[in-house]
Amino acid sequence: MNRQNLALMPPFIRTIPQDKFDMMSFREGQQVTPECDSVGCVIGHCTVLDPKPLPMLKDGDIDFWIWAYEFTGLNGDNHEWCFSLGWIHSDNTTEGAALRIEWLLKNGLPEDWSYQMNGFNPLCYKP
């Protein structure tokens, strides 16, 4: 887990207008520069935070999967807690995305994370 890079994400995510955010889509617009010019998810918007060149696919688009792993160091359940499109079922908001990353950094992965994501259990990060 790259705590330093993950800590950059919540304040930035909170600046994204909700109508430009959707956990279901990396990006709907261009996929070749760090700046997201459309609706996107955490990963789609946060590539702008990385000062290093972005990994690219053969077609010239950003390789979002490789970028997410290299920038955050997350995989498996930790990655899903922060970035899964499954959050459309219970909390598809910029604030929720920011709070999930902050929760992971402070408390680790909740045991019932998938139940929370799918709307079966209350969200631990919301009072």
CB-side neighbour CA atoms (13 Å) of 34:
11
pLDDT > 90 fraction of the chain, expressed in percent and rounded: 88
The reported pLDDT for the residue numbered 83 is: 96
State yes or no: pLDDT of 127 exceeds 80: no
The reported pLDDT for the residue numbered 27 is: 84
pLDDT tens for residues 9-55? 999 999 999 999 999 987 888 889 899 999 999 999 999 999 999 99
pTM across the whole model: 0.94
Beta bridge partners of 62: 56
Rounded-to-10 torsion of CA 76, 82, 88, 91: 140
